Amino acid sequence: MVTNTDEWASAELAVKNLLQQRLQSAIARAGLPAIDDIPLNRSKNCQHILYVSAIALKLAKVWQQPSEAIAQQIAETLKVPCSKDFVIEILPPGILQFELTDAALAIWLQRLAQNPLPVPESQIIPLTLPVDALFPIQYSHARCCSLLRMAHRDRLIALARPDEPATPEIWSLAAPNPIPWLDGSGRLRLVHPAERSLISQQLAVLDSLVAVFGGGDREKPVNYFKLANSLSEAFQTFYSQCRIWGEVKTETPKLAVARLGLVLATQSLLRFMLVNLLNAVAPLEL
């Protein structure tokens, strides 16, 4: 998603946190007054990865300039560092809109699917929940593991360690690497509404957990169970509506592999939340 790997590592996959850092830098370079609290929110549109900021409206009151002029200054300053990652638009009356490009999203997904999440920097007090409440999340995790092992046996993918006796920190993919997220035209293959909703939920998880990884201040307490349950539900919808085998495997094998990439990414997130945040087992099978 970003060309600077050090910046990418520090962002820890939280796109919102990365954007906030870039906005801070852009404000400083444009000579505008520094501001600690930059308003930035994800759009509810699951089919497009959109973030919107009213920072120009906030600065207009202090800087005594029209908000659209300030938004234009910030957008111009961000043009070079964000050119490969975001399409920037200015909406009336000076709202900055950032849309994640397909190329950037593909790199984000690749990193999520093939790199273990960092260990939390601060001690987390896990929630104590009834076993029955956790079962749907554990079931989704086990289903992810089952699909990955099945795909390995069918030679759709090659897992580096397919016979792990317990759930690994992450399922390392030997081939294909990278996953074919993009088609020949550079567009993301994953366009089904259920695929986009699952990606949207993955982004929401990482944006919400940024403080857990030491990448920013937590604005409000996070309901880890609700977050994990929402991801589990999005995965179940994806699994019921987006086939991997049958005609998809035969006629569009790269789409099948891209969908397995979503399974890899989901498994990694579910395992992290079950083990580190919910004090539960992440089962290999059920």
| Distance separating the N- and C-terminal Cα atoms of the chain | 35
* pLDDT 10s digits, 258-269: 999 999 999 999
What whole-number distance in Å separates Cα of residue 27 and Cα of residue 56?
Answer: 10
Res 4: pLDDT: 42
| Cβ neighbour number for residue 123 with a 10 Å cutoff | 5
Res 124: pLDDT: 65
**Is the pTM value of this prediction over 0.85?**
yes
Task: List, for the chain, all residue ranges whose pLDDT scores fall below the cut of 70.
Answer: 1-12, 33, 121-127, 214-220
Where in the chain are all domains bearing CATH 1.10.730? 120-277
Residue carrying the six token digits 């609700």 = 226
* pLDDT 10s digits, 92-137: 999 999 999 999 999 999 999 998 888 776 656 666 777 789 999 9
What whole-number distance in Å separates Cα of residue 274 and Cα of residue 278?
Answer: 5
* Helix segments in 154-246, DSSP class H: 193-208, 224-241
Which pair of tokens denotes residue 1? 């998603």
Res 21: pLDDT: 87
Res 126: pLDDT: 64
For domain 120-277, give its CATH number from 1.10.3210, 1.10.730, 1.10.12, 1.10.150: 1.10.730
Residues in the chain: 286
CATH number belonging to domain 5-100? 3.30.1360.70
Where in the chain are all domains bearing CATH 3.30.1360.70? 5-100
Beta bridge partners of 90: 96
What whole-number distance in Å separates Cα of residue 188 and Cα of residue 68?
Answer: 32
